[in-house]
Amino acid sequence: MPSKKAIVRRPSPRLAEGLVTHIERSPVDPALALRQWERYTAVLAEHGWETAEAAPADDCPDGVFVEDTMVVFRDVALISRPGAPSRRPETAGAEAAAVALGCSVQRIQEPGTLEGGDVLKVGDTIYVGQGGRTNAEGLRQLRAAFEPLGARVVGVPVEKVLHLKSAVTALPDGTIIGYPPLVDDSAIFTHFRPMPEEAGSHVVLLGGNALLMAASAPRSAELLSGLGYRPALVDISEFEKLEGCVTCLSVRLRELSARS
């Protein structure tokens, strides 16, 4: 039985100062962001996820995007070394949360850089985006950490968006979904299905056929409903203004060993 635990981190009061790379900056409403984050965590809980809050990182505007701080495979949390130097102080508190949940820890070491948003796991295959925040040494270190545990690691070019998972994620059956104008090379993926909206590329697998998706992707949600999935839509507009998407607001730990 897969575990359903997730690490989240509440938004910093400095959220509006978060990094913006590929889009125009627009004003962020911190109070609305907090309400949206609360709704996001409530939807996880409604679908049986136990959420653990990493210690707040109030001096880190991007700390809420906790997915970027680690990659968890089996029981191992590989703590990232963000490509964005301003994000490096985020990892310590996230690491403590992973340890409290029973993970053993490895860390990306300098000169490696890696952010969790660049890492898409589909079964035992781990796709790693290359071109932005994750460098070749980060990829090499991830491979060294996870191949001995049975992973197959595949490097994927990412030029058009911030992270690999800004471009593509995977449905429960392993089909990769993405918005074609933002996918560098969809031919890498054996089963690829185009989505009609950018935010339609982003799904969090909630268990069974339930998918957490952004409210900004109504046509994609309808398309996926037609395929038998059950989208739960959450408005994350304030995070989207900072290039965040639904995946980046949590780290899901699905493979933790049962502990007494």
For residue 138 the two structure tokens come to 């980060």
Q: Is 163 a catalytic residue?
A: yes
For residue 216 the two structure tokens come to 């900004």
Give the three-class secondary structure for 81: strand
Gap between the Cα atoms of 35 and 58, Å rounded:
17
Q: Residue 21 Cβ, how far from ligand CIR at the closest point, in Å?
A: 6
Q: Is 248 in the site for ligand CIR (CB under 6 A)?
A: yes
The residue length of the chain stands at: 260
Q: Is 245 in the site for ligand CIR (CB under 6 A)?
A: yes
For residues 250 and 65, is the Cβ–Cβ distance under 8 A? no
Of 38-46, 160-168, 169-177, 221-229, the segment contacting ligand CIR by CB under 6 A is: 160-168
Q: Out of 47, 60, 103, 163, which one is annotated catalytic? A: 163
Q: Is 9 in the site for ligand CIR (CB under 6 A)?
A: no
For residues 208 and 28, is the Cβ–Cβ distance under 8 A? no
Among the listed residues 5, 163, 241, 252, the single contact to ligand CIR using CB under 6 A:
163
Q: Is 21 in the site for ligand CIR (CB under 6 A)?
A: yes
Q: Is 67 in the site for ligand CIR (CB under 6 A)?
A: yes
Q: Give the single-character DSSP code of 47.
A: T
| 70-73/76-79 β-pairing | antiparallel
Gap between the Cα atoms of 181 and 88, Å rounded:
31
Q: Is 103 a catalytic residue?
A: no
Q: Is 70 in the site for ligand CIR (CB under 6 A)?
A: no
Cβ-closest position to ligand CIR: 117
For residue 155 the two structure tokens come to 């490097």
Gap between the Cα atoms of 188 and 216, Å rounded:
27
Q: Is 18 in the site for ligand CIR (CB under 6 A)?
A: yes
Amino acid at 182: L
Q: Is 83 in the site for ligand CIR (CB under 6 A)?
A: no
Q: Is 68 in the site for ligand CIR (CB under 6 A)?
A: yes
Question: Which residues contact ligand CIR by CB under 6 A?
Answer: 18-19, 21, 62, 65, 67-68, 84, 87, 117, 162-163, 165-166, 242-245, 247-248
Catalytic positions, written as ranges? 163, 248
